[in-house]
Structure 1
Amino acid sequence: MATLCNNSEENLKDFQHGASVREEPEEPTTQTSGTLVPHDVLCDSCMDSPSKALKSCLTCLVSYCKAHLRPHLENTKFQNHRLVDPLHDIDCRTCEVHRLPLDRFCLMDGCCVCLDCESQEHKGHTIASVGEARIQIETEMRKKQEEISQSTSAAEKAIKKLQSNNDLIMSSVQEICVLVEQQFSRMQITVEEARKGAMEMLEREQRQALRQADGIQAHLEQRRTKLMKTLTQMNKMSKIMSDVDFLQ
């Protein structure tokens, strides 16, 4: 919503301060188009050479430069006209139905209205001046902004806490991973040492068993040789025909 002025004298106090109004009105002066910038509002009364508007009148629906604004400042016929800072969309500040300034606000319907709207379409509604309505709505906005700010702050704190918890979880898991890795490394060393010990013991027992087997085998082979010799002698004896030779 646009801020509308309460009266032209109040709106233009800065302009009038330090500036004396001559008894004989000066001829309107205009600015050259070279001093204008694209966003400037132009004076609607400067037909030949465009000049920058100083104020817009919501009653006249016209924007005026410094020179053409003088009648509104000096002539009592214009004292009730509503002057505001230059507006590009001045037509939007006027009621399309009644062609009166939209200087009121219907709190029930949430829209700007004119004096006739207040007494007709919006009769019985809660109406405030646009200035009062803006103050009220801005107060509500500030309250809402504060609530949103508090909610945002709470959300940020919660996010930071969650992030802190996440960092703590990650740190704890990393520490546990290191400990588990160390434990498994020690277990692997222990298992490897046990494996080596078992293999060495088996190798020793194997060597001992082989030695024993070799000893038994040697003894058996020696006995077999002896028995074979005896058997050979007995075979020779069995072939002796003479009893005397056999017995000898």
Structure 2
Amino acid sequence: MAEAILGDQDQYSCSICLDLLRDPVTIPCGHSYCMSCIGECWNTNDLNGTYRCPQCRQTFKSKPPLNRSTVLAEIMEKLRSTESAQSLAGPGEIACDFCSGEMIKAVKSCLECRASYCQTHVQPHYNVPALKKHKLVKAAVIPVCPKHDKVLEVYCRTDQKCVCMHCLLDDHKGHDTVSSTIERNEKQIKLTDTQTKVKQTIQAKEKELQKMNMDIASHSDSAKKAVENSKKVFSELVKFIEKKSNEVIEKIKAEEKADLDQGAKLQKKLQEEITELKKREGVLEDLLQTDNNIQFLQNCESVSSSSASDELPSSSFQPYCSFEDIRKLICELAGRLETTCTQEISKTITNVSDLSAKRPHFTFDIVVGDHVRVKPSVVTPTHKWGSVTHLSIGVVKKIQGDLLTVDFPEQRNWTGVVSEMERVTSAGSDLPSKNDPFNIKVGDKVRVKPSVITPKHNWGRNVTHKSVGVVKDIKSDDSVVVDFPGHANWKGIITEMEKVTNDDEIGPSSLGSNIKIGDKVRVKPSVVTPTHKWGAVTHKSIGVVKKIQGESLTVDFPEQKNWTGIVSEMEIVASTGLDIQNGSLILDVDFSGIMTIPDLADIKLETESE
């Protein structure tokens, strides 16, 4: 019932102890706190007799009376009475130190007892008078001093770190120190101001984003209208050409009809002449076939007198229009139109490109110091290749507008265009580095990065920066489950982790900068074959550095003098005071004091295979 009344319990929590209100009091500004919390806060922050609300920062000239809010206290008690169901502690969560069997999730941790309690076992701290004085905080791993194993409760402003009371008499003696509560309150005021500024910035950015969304939507609508208008214009242009094409076709057809009509008349006339001639031919044929001479002679003159009709003028079809010429004219017109359209449309496209070229180039991705290379899609850079290729990887030295200056191994101070470049991850390699979180997979050995002060899900039990565990599972939300020797199913964030190699686990592996002339060294166990080969040297061989030049070094081994190797492939061998060379025992002894050397015969040498 209380949960239904309260709804969101966080708004009924004390902003100082972050727990549900106990003995709640309401100060004049309207904010409520635990009576003990606000009293302690005002006692430690009494600035010139003024008192401030920890939330709204309202100032009171005199200390307001702290009267218990009975109604609010009853609601809080009812809510606590309904919180009997307790959940089990999951990965990364703190378990109650007093629950036996199942690991119940802790709700509070005591800085005095240095233990964590569930809702049931924390009750004595609220009821027992001696335990009421203890400082309870939200369940968490209690930070302790690694040197004195005491709770960190003091802040050293000189070294800017939390220390214990014993540190004040030791390493931090005479430093500027204050209680963690005072430092927390002062820093909380600054962080509150920063939070207010961040909120104001967020609001301003949200307004900018809203305006940008409107501008982008308006721009998109404008582009759609431009596309629609272009389609309409070109469609009208096509219709205009089709109309003129139809006019030309109709004209050709009209010319064709006129010529065909003329041809039809000539055909009819010629057909009539042929018919007339065939009739005359029939008369002549009949006359030539008659046997009566008198009749032949009488009709011969009349038939022969019409012979003039044999000399009729010949006629031929001669059209007024040559359609072959028309075809040539149409082809010439099409060529001129195609040339004109191509030129004009190209000009329009160029003008559109010129307009888009004026937009600013954003360089959010590339900054000075980044490793970059020319994009594979760029055939030839604007400012030419020089000695650079697609495989070249360089460091950005300078960015000015759209131009950037890059130092490549092949060419220094190379000039390029930002839009033609791309970043290269992992310091000049496409392969992920050892510390790249995306290179971590199930089964890998990992540890918390040294740069992480406190993991997001806290340290848990027995987990430190030195702890090395095995990745058990990787979730989609970038969380990772790790089995550490002292804490199984530990939950962390993958970006807070780094892989651990065999070399890292071995321990005192040497860095190149630590090796100097005169050091005793050997080849690292992780090196299968040295760059300059083994020669007579093995992993067990221990020699003395004779010379170092850049990344190369010269070592005198008992098996081989003047052996050449690479600094990064070597490790320093710590001196134990005893050494065996060629079967002889060598002791490194400091004779500055008096000491007794036992008989060498009584010394039992035990050699371990390296």
Q: Verify same fold: TM over 0.5.
A: yes
Structure ranking higher on relative contact order (CA contacts 8 Å, 6+ apart) = 1
The residue type equivalent to 1:145 in the other structure is Q
Provide the secondary structure at the position in 2 that maps to 1:121: coil
Indicate which of 128, 133, 137 corresponds to 1:68. 128
Structure with greater helix share of residues: 1
The residue type equivalent to 2:275 in the other structure is T
Q: Structure 2: any 5+ residue segments left out of the alignment?
A: 1-15, 18-35, 44-65, 69-80, 88-95, 99-109, 116-121, 303-610
The residue type equivalent to 2:261 in the other structure is R
How far apart are 1:167 and its partner, in Å? 0.7
The residue type equivalent to 2:233 in the other structure is Q
Indicate which of 254, 257, 279 corresponds to 1:207. 257
The residue type equivalent to 1:68 in the other structure is V
| Equivalent-residue separation in structure 2 for 1:207 and 1:151 (angstroms) | 83
Match of 1:23 in 2: none
| Equivalent-residue separation in structure 1 for 2:167 and 2:195 (angstroms) | 32
Match of 1:168 in 2: 218
Q: Deviations over 1:213-247 (max 9, x none)?
A: 11110111122333444556567778898995544
8 Å contact from structure 2 (residues 111, 142) kept in 1:
no
Q: 1:61 to 1:206 in 2, by over 3 A?
A: closer
Q: 1:126 to 1:236 in 2, by over 3 A?
A: farther
Q: Structure 1: any 5+ residue segments left out of the alignment?
A: 19-33, 45-55, 74-81
Indicate which of 135, 143, 152 corresponds to 1:84. 135
Indicate which of 223, 233, 238 corresponds to 2:273. 223
Match of 1:105 in 2: 155
Tell me, yes or no, if structure 1 residue 145 matches structure 2 residue 205: no
Match of 2:170 in 1: 120
How far apart are 1:163 and its partner, in Å? 1.8
The residue type equivalent to 1:207 in the other structure is K
Provide the secondary structure at the position in 2 that maps to 1:222: helix
Match of 2:370 in 1: none
Which structure 2 residues correspond to residues 176-215 of structure 1 after superposition, within 5 A?
176-215=226-265
How far apart are 1:124 and its partner, in Å? 5.0
The residue type equivalent to 1:127 in the other structure is T
Q: Deviations over 1:53-87 (max 9, x none)?
A: xxx683x76985566316x89xxxxxxxx643477
| Equivalent-residue separation in structure 2 for 1:146 and 1:231 (angstroms) | 125
8 Å contact from structure 2 (residues 114, 142) kept in 1:
no
Provide the secondary structure at the position in 1 that maps to 2:142: helix
Tell me, yes or no, if structure 1 residue 133 matches structure 2 residue 183: yes
How far apart are 1:97 and its partner, in Å? 5.2
| Equivalent-residue separation in structure 1 for 2:163 and 2:172 (angstroms) | 8
Stretch deviating more after TM superposition (141-150 or 231-240): 231-240
Provide the secondary structure at the position in 2 that maps to 1:208: helix
| Equivalent-residue separation in structure 2 for 1:115 and 1:219 (angstroms) | 137
How far apart are 1:117 and its partner, in Å? 0.6
Structure with greater strand share of residues: 2
Which structure 2 residues correspond to residues 228-247 of structure 1 after superposition, within 5 A?
228-230=278-280, 245=298, 246-247=300-301
| Equivalent-residue separation in structure 2 for 1:98 and 1:187 (angstroms) | 90
Larger Rg: 1 or 2? 1
8 Å contact from structure 1 (residues 11, 84) kept in 2:
no
8 Å contact from structure 2 (residues 125, 134) kept in 1:
no
Q: Identity percentage over the alignment?
A: 18
| Equivalent-residue separation in structure 1 for 2:150 and 2:262 (angstroms) | 128
Instruction: Tell me the TM-score normalised to structure 2 length.
Output: 0.26
8 Å contact from structure 2 (residues 154, 177) kept in 1:
yes
The residue type equivalent to 1:172 in the other structure is S
Q: Deviations over 1:80-118 (max 9, x none)?
A: xx64347766x9376575566533112355543222212
| Equivalent-residue separation in structure 1 for 2:253 and 2:156 (angstroms) | 104
How far apart are 1:212 and its partner, in Å? 1.6
How far apart are 1:132 and its partner, in Å? 2.1
Instruction: Tell me the TM-score normalised to structure 1 length.
Output: 0.55
RMSD: 4.9
